Amino acid sequence: MCRNIKTLHNFMPPASEDEVRASALQFVRKLSGFTKPSKGNEEPFNRAVEGVTQVAKELLESLTTQAPPRDREVEAAKAKARSAERFGSQPHTHADGQTHTHEHPPSLRFGVAGEHSHVH
């Protein structure tokens, strides 16, 4: 659930409001255990997301560093390389006969979750 929370500090351009809110949403989902709250929990859930978003924005605006800002594309390429090193990239064939290589979460790569689908 939390794998979508990414470091947002010290990037150029700075994190957008949408990125901060997406991280806050993932954080509240993890804390609450809800991907989508019930009607009865919707108001406190949404209030928590807004509160965490605001506090996160304040945190990011107040942090300082001597390090030069990081480049998003460079960091994304590094993360992809780490993932390939850690999990490997294995070719596989789908029921439609299409064969390709790309990353899957470990649960899917090793057959734990059985069949899977995705858009190409």
Q: Is 28 exposed, middle or buried (0-12, 13-18, 19+ CB in 10 A)?
A: buried
pLDDT (0 to 100) of residue 32 = 96
pTM for the structure as a whole: 0.65
pLDDT (0 to 100) of residue 1 = 46
Instruction: Write the DSSP string, the chain.
Output: -GGG----TTEESPPPHHHHHHHHHHHHHHHH--SS--HHHHHHHHHHHHHHHHHHHHHHHH---SSPPEEHHHHHHHHHHHHHHHH---EEE-TTS-EEE----HHHHTTTT-------
pLDDT (0 to 100) of residue 9 = 94
Contact (CB, 8 A) for 109 and 90: yes
pLDDT (0 to 100) of residue 72 = 85
Q: What is the pLDDT along the chain (120 residues), one digit of tens a residue?
A: 456 678 899 998 899 999 999 999 999 999 999 999 999 999 999 999 999 999 999 999 999 999 999 998 888 888 888 888 887 766 666 777 777 666 555 555 554 444 555 555
What are the residue boundaries of the structural domains of the chain, listed by start? 2-68
